[in-house]
Structure 1
Amino acid sequence: MMLKKTIVLKLLVGFVYASIILDYAESSYSGVGGYHDEMRRIALVKAAHTVRNRASQPQSYSTVTLVPQRSRVHHATEYGADPTGRLDSTEALQQALSDAFGSQVDAHLMEGVADLGGAEVHLDGGTYTISHPLRLPNISGGNFMIHGGSIRASDNFPGNRHLIELWPSSSSLLYEDITLKDLMINSNFRGGGISVINSLRTTIDNCYISHFTTNGILIEGGHETYIRNSFIGQHINVGGSHREKDFSGIGINIMGNDNAVTDVVIFSASIGILVAGQANVLTGVHCYNKATGWGGTGIYIKAPGLTQTRILNSYFDFTGVVAEDPVQLQITGSFFLGNAFVLIKSLAGVVCGVNIVDNMFSGDYTGVKIVQLDQSNGPFTNIEQVIVDRNTVRGMVLKSTVARGSVWNNGTTWAVDFSKVLLFPDLIKNVQYTLHAGAKFPNHVLRNVSGNRVTVESDMPVTATLHVSVDQSMVGYI
């Protein structure tokens, strides 16, 4: 009899426990009828299982008090944000950000940057409409993430702002190790997507950013923003859009140093990536943002005099690369399709330390050169350590800084014309040649290299073949 009473009492305790679970797990999603039924079923099963297990165990008189721990995961819906996107969720999401920055732990990252302990704002897979930028609080914080949903600009969103902004009110560095991940950003043709200003070690991962008019992503100042595995475009398309000539804006605008863009597609914008800083690396980028024929540029390097930029293993699809007065620029392992080419633009006539090597170029046999010079502002006068070589070309015109040629003649003069293949006009810094004659041993001399044409003369008529190698870079010579 005593055992029966004990079992009944434990069943009552179990049902009370289930009710507590239901109250605690109340969802902020309204109008989803099956959600509460499913939660109730799970709670009842768990309570019954607990009672069965305890009924077979010796009775314990110890008391355990459960103290709820405050979670560092701040769910957008718990703040009243509307996951359907019908209502404005700006204030709710901003409050979630504020609370997340209030959950600091007793630790720091960089000096003065508080550790938020891995705090998150979780968007719960919802779509949220905002009328003002989601701007991180103007206090220091790091080790924080926003993820898991979609954000859309309202029709009255300010056109000169970005949907998510890491933007301290001063020039001090307040943010470090901020992650924006698994986000769909729709700017609704009202400004930009994400801005990262004066921030350290920021990660933008697996984001889809569309319908911007200014920048998909803006990086200004700070240090080490890493963008990866993302898709960026003003208009959603897969190429060949009838609106392509009207594409505007910049996919990624980098105005800082030491940043990396990896495995990113820019599918519509006037400029895919604009680089105005040093020591940046772009790897695995696919640009088909706007064809060169419509005035588009895949990657525009606007860091004259000190470029220090690497473009590796990328794909330029009917749009190319422009570099102004580049100093230390590496373009290698990339594929240029549809007459896409590299344009080196003179501002002060400087081009130094440039390697354009081991790339593939494919065109339509209309005579487009793979590397071109824009000397409309003046000729290049400071040319050092420029190597354009080992590129494979099909349907375009090969240009190089290294060339080899041969010519046969019976006489006293042999000439090999390299003007069609050498990149820089009237510039040969090094010549190596061999005059392969028959039985005779004539004296011969290098007579002229002007106009990128090598001329050798002998002191007697002879049947011979002239083999010549020329170099415009002088790399490796003293």
Structure 2
Amino acid sequence: MSNESIHCKKMRGYIHITTLLLYYSLSITADCARFSYKEPYRPRRHSSAAFQNPFVDKSHGSLISHLENARALASSWWQDTLNLQNAEESRSRTLIFNPGANGADPTGNSDSTAELQLTINQAFEVASRNNLMPGVADLGGVEVHLAGGQYAISKPLTLPDQGGGNVVIRGGTLRATSSFPSDRFLIELGSPQLREEWVRLGGKLANSHGQPAFENIALQNLMLDANFTAGGILLLNPIRTTIANCYITHFSSSGISVHGGHETFIQTSFLGQHITTGSDPGERSFSGTAILLDSNDNAVTDVVIFSAQTAIEILGQANIITGVHCYNKATGWGGVGIMIRQGAAQNRMLGCYLDYTGIVLEETRQITITNSFFLGDAFVLLRATGNPDVVGLSIVDNMFSGGNHGVPIVQTKGSFSHVKQTCVDDNSATGMALRSTRARVSVAGFGSNWTADLSETLLFPTSIAHVQYSFFASNENATDSSSVFPSHALQSVKATSITVASDIPVHAIVSFNVDQSTYSESETMYVA
């Protein structure tokens, strides 16, 4: 409705109401004079008593009824007018930006890169007097809403150079065209300087990243199709960023790549290079990494990764992975579920589902894997690279299920010099071989030597830190000379073999309790 139409309606309303009120005033004055009332007659609303008054004739009751209707109509008209004005003001102050308003094509038939970039830029131009981090404007929750459209883009969508925070981008699909740059991502968050540095250093950032330009950016309910040409989302030095309810597919490099910054939450999302539900005939050729975390203090929660060479690769510290289901390329074909690179200490994997693909630890300091399920002979591999010590490793309370091929649930590659404050124990396995840093075994027989070989049980092949044993001598076929309880002692510890000897031959049961981990610097480890 045009402003002229609204103005005409207002004027007609003013004239109509003025006439009715004048008529009402004259009628009431005449009525008071007729019946000598000192006060004007005021009928009560919502009551018929006024029309039953013997001093009021039928014509006067009809007049009052008309006046009541007129006043109600006037009130309704004013309310409608105010509602219309409020709606117009609300539209003029909207903080939801739709790329369709800038001419973007929601069918994906034509390139909408420029229109989408313009829409994002407009959202970041919202005025604000408040800040999040110093220098990061709080834009109040402004939204870029794709409104369910499918948009084709030929180059990355970036956030404006001035930065900002408290922004949502959601609700649609972005598809890379065939001309999209192969070394870029559909959405890139980071300052121009960081993007230049990331390209110059071959996909990495220097150790010092400076002040974040963006904070509290939320990417929600998006489908990103990289068309086997590019990556999905690139985050450079982000802080408090959320990726939620997203579906990222057909990436050639990475689905989500996070470098620097901290506190990025990736949750309730699906990632896969190829759209499949498993048993894909092309699984051997899967490549790329679904999620790359070259960053500290992040969380990946309730995420499914259904195809990629590597599901999650972690280069940063203090990250937590919970409720993740990996059924990307199987371990037998060279795939990795979760890769912890050297230097990425203090990471935790809780309640995950490793489906025919396992976990590889190049870093074995303060790593926790617990309450997870490994299916299809999937296992945990400890790879000795760089620092050969194992300190604070915990692999406990997990379930393993395999195909009766004798695959150990935890394996090592290379040798480790020290094992400290480490526990691999209390796991359950069907169709796979248990491995542990703790072992409990009993040896029975007649003689003066009892040896327990724990090579099929202990994880590390050449070290034992603690040995406890109990010696139970039987009196079976005892003679006077042999009825004396024999003297016995721990005779030797060689690799994973332990021997207890007695001074005389007896029937005995010797039980061993072994731990491969030390708990203080002063403890001695038996190394073959």
Same fold (TM over 0.5): yes
Offset at residue 350 of structure 1 (A): 2.2
Percent identity (aligned): 48
Q: Does 1:292 align with 2:331?
A: yes
Separation of aligned partners in 2, 1:117 and 1:238:
40
Separation of aligned partners in 2, 1:201 and 1:264:
18
Q: Does 1:254 align with 2:293?
A: yes
Offset at residue 60 of structure 1 (A): 6.9
Q: Does 1:395 align with 2:431?
A: yes
Separation of aligned partners in 1, 2:288 and 2:72:
65
**SS of residue paired to 2:393:** strand
CA contact (8 A) 2:438 2:513 kept: yes
Q: Does 1:436 align with 2:472?
A: yes
2:363 counterpart residue number: 325
1:33 counterpart residue number: none
Q: Does 1:153 align with 2:192?
A: no
Offset at residue 52 of structure 1 (A): 9.9
2:212 counterpart residue number: 173
Offset at residue 56 of structure 1 (A): 6.3
Separation of aligned partners in 1, 2:383 and 2:252:
27
Offset at residue 451 of structure 1 (A): 2.6
From the superposition, tell whether residues 11 and 385 of structure 1 become closer, same or farther in structure 2 (CA, over 3 Å). same
Offset at residue 421 of structure 1 (A): 0.4
**SS of residue paired to 1:92:** helix
From the superposition, tell whether residues 203 and 52 of structure 1 become closer, same or farther in structure 2 (CA, over 3 Å). farther
From the superposition, tell whether residues 54 and 159 of structure 1 become closer, same or farther in structure 2 (CA, over 3 Å). farther
CA contact (8 A) 1:444 1:458 kept: yes
Offset at residue 426 of structure 1 (A): 2.2
AA matched with 2:390 = V
Q: For structure 2, list consecutive stretches of 5 or more residues without a partner in the other structure.
A: 1-7, 14-68, 194-208, 476-483, 524-528
Q: Does 1:468 align with 2:507?
A: no
1:263 counterpart residue number: 302
2:61 counterpart residue number: none
1:48 counterpart residue number: none
Offset at residue 87 of structure 1 (A): 0.9
Q: Does 1:136 align with 2:178?
A: no
Larger Rg: 2
1:276 counterpart residue number: 315
Separation of aligned partners in 2, 1:199 and 1:335:
32
Offset at residue 367 of structure 1 (A): 1.4
Task: Normalising by structure 1, report the TM-score.
Answer: 0.86
Separation of aligned partners in 1, 2:97 and 2:421:
54
CA contact (8 A) 2:171 2:220 kept: yes
Separation of aligned partners in 2, 1:463 and 1:303:
51
Offset at residue 54 of structure 1 (A): 5.0
Separation of aligned partners in 1, 2:294 and 2:274:
24
1:342 counterpart residue number: 380
From the superposition, tell whether residues 53 and 239 of structure 1 become closer, same or farther in structure 2 (CA, over 3 Å). farther
Separation of aligned partners in 2, 1:399 and 1:167:
45
Q: Which has the higher strand share?
A: 1
CA contact (8 A) 2:399 2:427 kept: yes
| Corresponding residue pairs, total | 430
Separation of aligned partners in 1, 2:71 and 2:126:
38
CA contact (8 A) 1:329 1:354 kept: yes
AA matched with 2:121 = S
AA matched with 1:347 = T
Separation of aligned partners in 2, 1:221 and 1:400:
36
AA matched with 1:469 = N
Offset at residue 412 of structure 1 (A): 0.8
2:440 counterpart residue number: 404
2:526 counterpart residue number: none
Offset at residue 407 of structure 1 (A): 1.0
**SS of residue paired to 2:495:** helix
User: CA-to-partner distance for each residue in 1:294-353, whole Å, 9 max, x for gaps?
Assistant: 10000000033x511000000000000001132110000000000000000011322211
Offset at residue 190 of structure 1 (A): 1.0
